[in-house]
A and B are shown apart, each in its own frame.
Chain A
């Protein structure tokens, strides 16, 4: 009966009820959006890299090293000489090593020079390995492997040639036209910055930077016979029966065998993770070449701490907006109480007690908030679904399921709690108003 009275009463005052509903819906949606972005950014951050025990680069700063190596953001640090890389490789505690050379782009996407060890050892999320959606890892010095999003947005497929550009700008006039890279593989979607990076061989990258354009030896020191063989092979590529030969040749390519002059960053995997701190200390104290080693987990935590302040601010602002909307709800209920004194008095006359009246007003307020919350969930889910491609391409934010988590539920419960509190005022005001005065309100 109470819910019938509450619903009929709201229907009677539908204009003010709809306006209040809209106001609360927008506020809750805003709060949910902020919460989703916050949790998704955090998830996105934490799943970016896993299994890497140390990241080594030139001394710059923990965050700069992390951002440039893992997130492909910011300016790469000064290079590390090969002798230092060799020393790390020969360290007994090191299980594997991924060299990364940064600083080039392809149509606005970061180009990362590396070796096949990247595809073998780099892990993301919950220790997930990189997988190829098509093709394979580097098969020859001018091979490139592109991230899933690049392949999708630029329409690339295995076998296409791409030109990389010097520098980090979206538009560069210094293209390495003479060294087109052939796409040997396309990575499966990871939901990390890997999706938005172009991976080339260290060998190819160094050649593109050191050899002049149209140089006769621009094919990375390979013998003319090799080049001729490759051209020949390219012609033969279309012939299916010779495909096996092609694969065999590519499989023979060992990108790790190349020794670059320097690289930007090195990712290390250790035999025993417990030695990470010890090795970090050793590297940081190295006197041969000043180096800096960071623990990715700690650097991520520091980065998230900085982000956390912004997040708290956003969450606080959204919370205030919700409180304003709820005060609006209380105001609406209080304002309508004036025209409902007679109705309240009649309900009291026919036996509704103070608790029943309190419950009636609160059911009305709760109904508005619950409907608003349901509308907000739908609105935010739709909005996020529509903005998903834009968020990933513009901000590198990969939305993963489920969108609404424990925090969303807590937010709704808190809002319902606040609704209960703010609706107490009109409910008490309704009961305190004289019964006699209410009955004679007409």
Chain B
């Protein structure tokens, strides 16, 4: 009974902190605003995400942590629009993102959100240059060839990738190179929001630190939500949110997104 009271007390304190932070954010432009968000893979199953309110300010770098199965990747997929909320709203850059049509959401994502996937998800048969150019092409921003090339080379320099890599096929690159190319693709359209899903899970400590420095550098003023189960990375970010704080009522549910039923997978 005491334990329950203690837990309730902790949650109350955290909610108070969160509300205070949200109040501060209201004074700044909001990059992410989540309200009454629920998500479950089937109608019958209990929600694996249940967030009353959550805000991220523009330019803020947020670290989202939680154990495996806590729903952090699911939350990222909801923020990317690759999953649709069962209930509630997500507003991104002050746009009602969750109520957009699939096509509008695809377009919004292409123009305003840069996504670095856990598995990088480069198109293996395209060259590095083609992979990055595809992001520009499908976003429909149509910069001049000169501007695009300049931006590409600037990114390659920052990411410490040699120019000859541009002509190599994506599947011929090392994991580290694929990771950097994925970042370059995510940043080529100057996204206002960068969503990064556990890209350091396969790296050792030194490589991880080096990568994080690089990422922070290239992310610049973009709002970033970074997901990892490794709490040691908290120091790189402005704020740390754990899934247990954000979605306390679902914290006990250990369901991995990838293993979920397919009925509601369509986004």
Seen from chain A, the residues whose Cβ lies within 8 Å of a Cβ on chain B are: 1, 4-5, 8-9, 11-12, 342-343, 345-354, 356, 432-437, 439-440, 442
Contacts and interface: CB of A to CB of B under 8 A. Distances in A.
Most chain B C-beta atoms within 10 Å of own C-beta, residue among A346, A353, A434, A442: A346
Nearest to A351: B110
Given A349-B115, A353-B106, A436 B121 contact: no
B196 interface: no
B257 A440 contact: yes
Given A8-B125, A436-B257, A439-B82, A350 B265 contact: no
B258 interface: yes
A347 B119 CA distance: 15
A232 B181 CA distance: 100
B117 A351 contact: no
Nearest to A4: B130
B6 interface: no
Interface stretch (B14-22, B55-63, B135-143, B231-239): B135-143
Contacts of B53: none
Interface string B175-207: 000000000010000000000000000000000
A182 B139 CA distance: 84
28 contacts: A1-B134, A1-B138, A4-B130, A8-B125, A8-B130, A9-B125, A342-B121, A345-B82, A345-B121, A346-B122, A346-B123, A347-B123, A349-B106, A349-B109, A349-B121, A350-B138, A350-B139, A351-B109, A351-B110, A352-B138, A353-B103, A353-B107, A356-B138, A432-B266, A434-B266, A434-B267, A435-B265, A439-B82
A435 B125 contact: no
B185 A350 contact: yes
B82 A436 contact: yes
A308 B123 CA distance: 53
A8 B262 contact: no
Contacts of A439: 77, 82, 117, 119, 121
Nearest to A343: B123
A11 B123 CA distance: 13
B111 interface: yes
A437 B103 CA distance: 18
B130 A351 contact: no
Interface of B: 77, 80, 82-83, 102-103, 106-107, 109-111, 115, 117, 119, 121-126, 130, 133-135, 137-140, 185, 257-258, 262, 265-267
B245 to A, nearest CB: 24
A347 B125 CA distance: 13
Contacts of B80: 349
Contacts of A434: 262, 265-267
A432 B80 CA distance: 18
A350 B110 contact: yes
Contacts of A432: 266
A11 B83 contact: no
Contacts of B77: 436, 439
Contacts of B123: 5, 343, 346-347
Contact of A436 (B102, B109, B267): B267
Contacts of B262: 434, 437
A435 B82 contact: yes
A433 B103 CA distance: 15
Contact of A440 (B109, B115, B258, B266): B258
Contacts of B121: 342, 345-346, 349, 439
Nearest to B256: A440
A343 B124 CA distance: 8
Given A8-B125, A9-B125, A437-B262, A354 B103 contact: yes
B126 A347 contact: no
A1 B133 contact: yes
Nearest to A432: B266
Nearest to B123: A343
Contacts of B102: 354
B75 to A, nearest CB: 12
Contacts of B266: 432-435
Nearest to B111: A351
B66 to A, nearest CB: 17
Given A343-B123, A432-B266, 5 more contacts: A1-B137, A5-B123, A349-B82, A350-B139, A352-B106
B267 A5 contact: no
Contacts of B83: 436
Contacts of B134: 1, 5, 347, 350
Contacts of A345: 82, 121
Nearest to A10: B125
A250 B207 CA distance: 107
A353 B106 CA distance: 7
A241 B113 CA distance: 102
A432 B135 CA distance: 21
Contacts of A353: 103, 106-107
Most chain B C-beta atoms within 10 Å of own C-beta, residue among A342, A434, A439: A439
A233 B102 CA distance: 99
Contact of A351 (B106, B125, B126, B258): B106
B221 to A, nearest CB: 22
Contacts of B107: 351, 353
Contact of B139 (A9, A12, A343, A351): A351
The 4 closest A-B pairs by CB, nearest first: A351-B110, A434-B265, A351-B138, A12-B125
A343 B123 CA distance: 6
Contacts of B265: 434-437
B9 to A, nearest CB: 37
A352 B107 CA distance: 8
Contacts of A4: 126, 130
Contacts of A433: 266
B179 to A, nearest CB: 14
